[in-house]
A and B are shown apart, each in its own frame.
Chain A
Amino acid sequence: MLALRVVISAETVLLLALSCHWILWRIRIPNKHINSLLSLFLVVWCSSVGMLWDSNMSLFFLGGVFLPFWFFYFSVLYWSAALCYVITYSAMEGDSPTLSLARYLHRKGDEGVCHEEIEEFFRERPFIGARVRALVTDRILIEGSNGYRLRSGKYLFFHTILLYRRLVFGRVSSGG
């Protein structure tokens, strides 16, 4: 059935992209993780569409007529799963203070920890420094002797998130 072939093809291509990602990251982890990951998903998608387009078992043609419905379903399935992975990857790339703390407290069990141990936990994990370094590595901030300068650019993604915050929460406070 064509419907199930579309689903299976999209998931197979996704698995192929994830395998390539895993192998490439074993060889060398790129500096700009997210851009590299998105590029990899794009390359695998283009290659697979090219192959599926040309093959005799093409999903997207019937009697020589292009079937955009199946093509779009294939693409939407692939890209929604790919974006889920990219988002999960961005969350796991750096440590989450909340999740790290929850895990740490779980390991300590019923005994718990005193406030000094919590302070020590955060001293061992300088989250702010790590995030600033990540922004410098991603070429969003430029480090100078006095501080950090924002590299010129539109930063649509960041502005969209902040706009959403303003619309829904009415303010964007500082904090962690």
Chain B
Amino acid sequence: MAPEWFYLLSPILALAAMVVVQAVFLRLRGGEQFFASVMAGFLAGLVVAIAMQVALLWVFPRNLDRWVLAFVANPAIYVMLAYCFFNFINLGHASIRIRIFKECHDRGGFITHEELRAVYDDERIRDVRLKRLLDGGDIVKEKGRWKLVNPRLVPVANLVFALKYFVLRRKSEFEKVS
């Protein structure tokens, strides 16, 4: 393998480290602490990316132009790949579409309206999402009223809604509401 390919290999190895550490972390925690596992994986990958960058400068000191490209591009490539990976695993965690697909597939490729309603309805979605926010410390229920106590998701939500408006010219897929 020509030495220059090690530069391109660096963010891929970093991603591999993230995948392994995230999976092992989650397995050891019995499937709990999903976001902590993602952070642990991301940090492990970052360490690998930095170590590779230092090693490449050490091993190939004459390939300075390639090292500069790797120095500028590799952190960005790693962060983007990590973002893609996070969203990939989050799809299995939270995507309603994936779950509906699975229910239909598990039943031999056909699901009746009743079966779909039995496994999925909007009340169930409501309860699961409320529990998720409650467990995550984002919301509390005080004197019968639900309150947001940790607004960490609000900037993300505002960004997503702003982007939706910019690209699709609507604030919500349910047109009447915002």
B167 touches A92 (CB 8 A): yes
List, in ascending order, chain A residues with CB within 8 A of B40's CB.
none
Give the interface centre of B97, B163, B176 by most chain A CB atoms within 10 Å. B97
Instruction: Say yes or no: is B13 at the interface (Cβ < 8 Å to chain A).
Output: no
B5 touches A69 (CB 8 A): yes
Interface of B is mostly: helix
Q: A149 — which chain B residues lie within 8 A by C-beta?
A: 104, 109-110
B50-88 vs A: 1/0 string, CB under 8 Å?
000000000000000110110011001100110110011
Answer whether residue A167 sits at the interface, using C-beta atoms and an 8 A cutoff: yes
Chain B, range 1-38, C-beta contacts under 8 Å to A: 4-5, 7-8, 11, 23, 26-27, 31
User: Beyond A77-B73, A91-B160, is A164–B146 a contact (Cβ under 8 Å)?
Assistant: no
- Count B-side interface residues using an 8 Å CB cutoff: 88
Determine if B174 and A130 form an interchain contact, defined as CB atoms under 8 angstroms apart: yes
Asked if A3 is at the interface of the complex by the 8 Å CB criterion, the answer is yes
Asked if A176 meets B120 with Cβ closer than 8 Å, knowing A80-B81, A97-B129, A113-B146, the reply is yes
**Proximity string of chain A (71-90) to chain B, C-beta cutoff 8 Å, 1 when within and 0 when not:** 01100110011011001110
With A95-B172, A99-B156 as known contacts, state yes or no: A176 contacts B125, CB within 8 Å. Answer: yes
Tell me the complex Cα distance, A30–B126, Å. 30
Q: In the complex the two chains form, is A6's CB within 8 Å of B69's CB? A: yes
Interface size class of A (residues with CB under 8 A): 35 or more
Does A50 interact with chain B (Cβ within 8 Å)? Answer: no
A1-44 Cβ-contact flags toward B at 8 Å (1 or 0): 11110110000000000000110011001000000000000000
CB-contact partner of B112 in A123, A146, A170, under 8 A: A146
Given A148-B104, A168-B27, CB of A134 within 8 Å of CB of B99: no
The 27 listed contacts between A and B (C-beta, < 8 Å) are A2-B65, A3-B72, A6-B69, A7-B72, A25-B167, A69-B66, A77-B76, A80-B81, A83-B80, A87-B88, A93-B168, A99-B161, A100-B172, A103-B161, A106-B148, A106-B151, A112-B145, A113-B146, A128-B121, A132-B100, A134-B97, A135-B100, A135-B101, A161-B88, A161-B95, A167-B23, A176-B94
